[in-house]
Amino acid sequence: MFTLLEMMTGKDEMQEGQIRKIIHVDMDAFYASVEQLDHPEWRGKPLVVGGNAERGVVAAASYEARAFGIRSAMSSILAAKKCPQLIFAKPRFDRYKEISSTIRDIFYEYTDLVEPLSLDEAFLDVTENKKGFKSAIYIARKIREQIRETTGLNASAGVSYNKFLAKTASDLNKPNGQAVILPEEAEEFLENLPVEKFFGIGKVTAEKMHSYGIHSGKDLKQFSLQFLTSKFGKSGLHYFNIVRGVHLSEVQPNRIRKSVSAENTFDQDLFHPTELSEVLEPIVNELLRRLEKTGINGRTITLKIKYSDYSIQTRSKTLEQYPEPQKIRELAQELLFQEELKSPIRLLGVGVSNLNITEEHEHFGRQLDIPFDEL
């Protein structure tokens, strides 16, 4: 019987069904790094992609800009205030897709089990791989080296036995780093991990967990499945499993998504039309950022409303043509006020469906459905 360490590092042959070897590769500040690669005069300087000093939203920030507290989805005006010398670069998605395609081709040299999350990150299942390498750690290092040699860009990687842990590991040694979470290390690692560091647990959910005394994985493990589902709905089962290192989702190549959406849960219920109109705008901005990032568009626009009593209502409109961004903005506002609101609102979401999915998007287009407040 082989040890778990041997199965992860390839010190001996793995028996079928014992364990998977999953790699999560994440390009470091991808859009901003591409701009600095193509414009040497911008290297080493704070730079963001998207918007300008007067309006817009940051799509990506260089590490130099992040040192000023600038992050993606931040308003460009706020970013400029934080860093007056900030450089604003116009997005060039054709260029990003070109480099993404090159990186994807590198992935396929090792395995056909590649699940892109966006242009700049993907899961790879290398349990059985084309190179015949036994060590997933070695494969991740070789992929990162090859990306650097081919594109001039840096990538970080995480290695583990499931997607959740691989994704978590890829953030541990950024930028230009690599980490592994071995099966025998997972329990202790997760117990010591702050809940806000768990992939998929963002600021709002973390604050709610803190209100119940849940600050770390060890705290989270003390609560029953019944309690977690009563407080967090269907996500409760996910939290119950991941803190125990259980995540059974397989790497799914060429999966076509059916919708793209963004949503936000408010700190307090809202009812006044002016307030609702204002909070809807950043949600639509986030949706448009995701659409632009993936190159996807859809003909059906849907508004999701969750009221203070947790009842949910959706309102949709389907167009004959794929809409421009401004049309999506207008329709979201129109759907919000097309009929009288019955009570205060705790969540708004906007999504598009009936997508223009093509073979190209099967390779690069899928992105995880992460609520707006979980970014």
Residue 365 in any domain: the answer is no
205 and 331 both lie in a single domain: no
Residue 370 in any domain: the answer is no
300 and 174 both lie in a single domain: no
CA distance linking residue 131 with residue 38, whole number of Å: 32
Q: What is the per-residue pLDDT for 363? A: 37
CATH label of the domain that carries residue 160: 3.30.70.270
The domain boundary, picked from 196, 214, 242, lies at 242
Supply the pTM of this predicted model: 0.67
The percent of residues in the chain predicted with pLDDT above 70, rounded, is 89
197 and 321 both lie in a single domain: no
Instruction: Please give the tally of structural domains in the chain.
Output: 4
The domain boundary, picked from 93, 122, 146, lies at 93
Q: What is the per-residue pLDDT for 370? A: 33
Residue 372 in any domain: the answer is no
User: What's the mean pLDDT when you consider all of the chain?
Assistant: 86
Q: What is the per-residue pLDDT for 113? A: 95
159 and 109 both lie in a single domain: yes
113 and 19 both lie in a single domain: yes
Residue 173 in any domain: the answer is yes
197 and 74 both lie in a single domain: no
Residue 130 in any domain: the answer is yes
Domain assignment of residue 134, given as a range: 4-29+96-181
* pLDDT above 60: residue 2: no
Residue 175 near residue 228 (C-beta atoms within 8 A)? no
Residue 152 in any domain: the answer is yes
216 and 285 both lie in a single domain: no
Q: What is the per-residue pLDDT for 166? A: 95
CATH label of the domain that carries residue 228: 1.10.150.20
283 and 338 both lie in a single domain: yes
* pLDDT above 70: residue 213: yes
Residue 73 in any domain: the answer is yes
254-309: pLDDT as tens digits: 666 678 888 888 878 888 888 898 899 999 998 998 888 778 899 999 999 988 87
Amino acid occupying residue 326: Q
Q: Name the DSSP class of 75.
A: B
Q: What is the per-residue pLDDT for 255? A: 61
Cα 184 from chain centre: 27
147 and 68 both lie in a single domain: no
277 and 329 both lie in a single domain: yes
Q: Name the DSSP class of 372.
A: G
298: β partners = 355
318-373: pLDDT as tens digits: 998 899 999 999 999 999 998 888 789 988 999 999 888 643 433 333 333 333 33
146-182: pLDDT as tens digits: 999 999 999 999 999 999 999 999 999 999 999 999 9
158 and 221 both lie in a single domain: no
- 114-130 burial: b if 16+ Cβ within 10 Å, else e: bbbbbbbbbbbbbbebe
Is 121 an active-site residue? Answer: yes
**Residue scoring higher pLDDT (191 or 340):** 191
Which one of 115, 121, 263, 374 is the catalytic residue?
121
* pLDDT above 70: residue 218: yes
- Burial of 97 from C-beta contacts in 10 A (0-12 / 13-18 / 19+): middle
